[in-house]
Amino acid sequence: MIEVLFDNRQDFMEIKEENMKAVEKAINATIEFEQAEGNFEVSVSFVTNEEIKELNRIYRNVDSDTDVLSFPMDDEEDQEGVIMLGDVILSTQKIIEQAKNFGHSLEREMIYLTVHSMLHLLGYDHMMEDEKEEMRDREKEVMKSLQLFK
């Protein structure tokens, strides 16, 4: 079981019920692809460029905006046996900008960023070239399973 908690702290993009369902589906698909077992909780926040820039500066010491931030938790189960995977922070302004630049839908961009962030929550990184390749391959496979990979 996966519980997804949503928090919409922006007004640049309307977040519809179908968007939240698509994000939940992407989260589930990523967890299934990684064959992670257990009861999980993930929070997803929709924010402005200004807020994500501030979070990036505070937590990563990078003074610029970005499209998505991932904040993994410690993976310990709570009293109900739920594993808190962490937080996904999405900039809706970047979603709009990147969807336009890449020529695909807002939802497709949102889903890709969610999958990317979920892989971070599950322990993947892309600091080294081999890690980047592995992460990109996994993103492609999850996106294919969602029928969203070109």
> What are the CA-CA distances from residue 138 to residues 68, 121, 122 (Å)?
17, 13, 12
Which amino acid, 83? Answer: I
Residue 120 counted as an annotated binding residue: yes
Q: Which residues pair with 86 in a beta bridge?
A: 42, 72
Residue 104 counted as an annotated binding residue: no
108-124 burial string, b = 16+ CB within 10 Å, else e? bbbbbbbbbbbbbbbeb
**What gap in Å lies between CA 53 and CA 75, rounded to an integer?**
26
Residue 112: both structure tokens together: 């890709």
**What gap in Å lies between CA 116 and CA 81, rounded to an integer?**
25
**What gap in Å lies between CA 56 and CA 88, rounded to an integer?**
13
Binding positions for Zn(2+) are: 116, 120, 126
Residues flagged as binding site? 116, 120, 126
